[in-house]
């Protein structure tokens, strides 16, 4: 394994950012790219994308970087893996910028370990719970997380399986859903994978009640949650058993559907006991008009940043289809479905 790490760092480097990088890089060789003119395609490399925001949360230099990367196409960072460091000037923007960054890098071929983010808001209060659990102050916590993140990135070995299991969750209707139709085409090419599909019936899942941390952990230790039902009886065991999770997500008001959202909220109790670092997240996203990237970013936040799922490069396919059956009119459908299925197989299965 090479010890070289590429640090993509648009804009001014803040004093905190400087200390954090000095602390986390240790003996690694680093190649710094601070000007967009110096950006170039990379292959099979480790990347840190690091940014300090001002109080507006708008960084022209950051957008220049993302513009260049996005224009470079889906293989610009082929085979690369990355982590993200985002430093805020106030309490806003760090999370939304992290989502954007992960989204664009993932579209350019970058894969991400679970929870690939060091996020420090202006006050660093977002690190408070972690600091309490580590018995450190906020500053020390920030340094420790940066070091842990770098170690996880450098030591990461993406898991592959002889007999992979894919769990597919959806809350849609087979008679009408374009998202389900697209999935059925993908499934046609997944013969080598064990597939378990769970349909979340409308209203079958109560949303998270927001138990106190101790209560949630108590239930989680027993692979349970305050509410029982399909989440505990079917979804928890299936998640524990799977190597990849595929979420079928129609765009409902520029968000994932309420049933899917409730399901993700309810994963919290299970997550308290078992992190999901070894499981890959995939998604099929369909919008009637526009906005699929918003859904992808919501999944990135909820499941990669918050719930520690791994993101394979190009973790989602995003298509537009409105009326029932419209997806079948996509002339590229077979090619698209075949390509995504092949991507799932290559990610999960030993050669």
Ligand X SMILES: Cc1cc2nc3c(=O)[nH]c(=O)nc-3n(C[C@H](O)[C@H](O)[C@H](O)COP(=O)(O)O)c2cc1C
Stretch 227-286 residues interacting with ligand X (CB under 6 A):
250-254, 286
Question: What DSSP designation does 233 have?
Answer: I
| CB closer to ligand X out of 59 and 179 | 179
Q: Is 172 in the site for ligand X (CB under 6 A)?
A: yes
Q: Which of 75, 202, 221, 290 binds ligand X (CB under 6 A)?
A: 290
Q: How far apart are the C-alpha atoms of 45 and 60, rounded to whole Å? A: 26
| CB closer to ligand X out of 52 and 179 | 179
CA angle 226, 201, 325 (to 5 degrees): 150
| CB closer to ligand X out of 140 and 328 | 328
Q: Which of 14, 179, 265, 304 binds ligand X (CB under 6 A)?
A: 179
Stretch 80-119 residues interacting with ligand X (CB under 6 A):
none
Q: Which stretch binds ligand X (CB under 6 A): 2-10, 122-130, 175-183, 216-224?
A: 175-183
Q: How far apart are the C-alpha atoms of 207 and 219, rounded to whole Å? A: 16
Token pair 């939304």 is at which residue?
A: 96
Q: What would the x/- binding string for ligand X be over residues 302 to 321, using CB under 6 A?
A: -------------------x
Q: Is 202 in the site for ligand X (CB under 6 A)?
A: no
Helix (H) or strand (E) holding 219: helix 213-221
| CB closer to ligand X out of 142 and 327 | 327
Contacts by residues 157-163 (CB-CB < 8 Å, ≥ 24 positions apart): 158/111, 158/310, 158/347, 159/243, 159/278, 160/348, 160/349, 160/350, 161/243, 161/348, 161/349, 161/350, 162/349, 162/350, 163/194
Q: Is 329 in the site for ligand X (CB under 6 A)?
A: no
Q: Are 266 and 231 in contact (CB under 8 A)?
A: yes
Q: Is 287 in the site for ligand X (CB under 6 A)?
A: yes
Q: Are 227 and 211 in contact (CB under 8 A)?
A: no
| CB closer to ligand X out of 166 and 294 | 294
Q: Is 185 in the site for ligand X (CB under 6 A)?
A: no
Positions touching ligand X (CB under 6 A) are 172, 177-179, 250-254, 286-291, 321-322
């Amino acid at each position: 394994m090479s010890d070289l790490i590429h640090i993509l760092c648009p804009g001014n480097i803040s004093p905190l950012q400087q200390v954090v990088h000095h602390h986390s890089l240790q003996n690694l060789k680093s190649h710094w790219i601070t000007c967009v003119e110096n950006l170039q395609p990379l292959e099979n490399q480790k990347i840190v994308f690091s940014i300090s925001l001002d109080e507006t949360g708008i960084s022209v230099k950051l957008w220049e970087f993302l513009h260049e990367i996005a224009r470079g196409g889906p293989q610009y960072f082929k085979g690369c893996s990355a982590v993200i460091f985002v430093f805020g000037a106030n309490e806003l923007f760090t999370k939304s910028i992290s989502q954007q960054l992960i989204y664009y890098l993932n579209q350019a071929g970058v894969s991400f370990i679970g929870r690939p983010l060091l996020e420090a808001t202006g006050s660093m209060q977002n690190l408070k719970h972690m600091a309490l659990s580590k018995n450190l102050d906020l500053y020390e916590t920030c340094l420790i997380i940066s070091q842990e993140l770098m170690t996880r990135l450098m030591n990461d070995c993406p898991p592959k399986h002889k007999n992979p299991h894919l769990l597919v969750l959806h809350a849609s209707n087979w008679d009408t859903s374009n998202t389900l139709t697209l999935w059925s085409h993908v499934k046609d090419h997944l013969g080598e994978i064990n597939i378990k599909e769970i349909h979340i019936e409308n209203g079958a899942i109560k949303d998270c009640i927001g138990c106190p941390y101790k209560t949630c952990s108590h239930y989680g230790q027993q692979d349970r949650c305050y509410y029982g039902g399909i989440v505990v009886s079917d979804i928890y065991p299936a998640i524990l058993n799977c190597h990849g999770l595929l979420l079928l997500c129609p765009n409902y008001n520029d968000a994932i559907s309420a049933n899917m959202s409730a399901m993700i909220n309810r994963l919290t109790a299970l997550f308290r006991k078992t992190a999901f670092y070894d499981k890959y997240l995939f998604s099929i996203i369909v919008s009637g008009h526009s906005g699929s990237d918003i859904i992808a970013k919501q999944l990135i936040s909820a499941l990669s940043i918050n719930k520690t799922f791994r993101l394979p490069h190009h973790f989602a396919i995003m298509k537009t289809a409105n009326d029932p059956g419209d997806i079948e009119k996509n002339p590229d459908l077979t090619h698209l479905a075949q390509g995504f299925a092949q991507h799932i197989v290559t990610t999960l299965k030993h050669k």
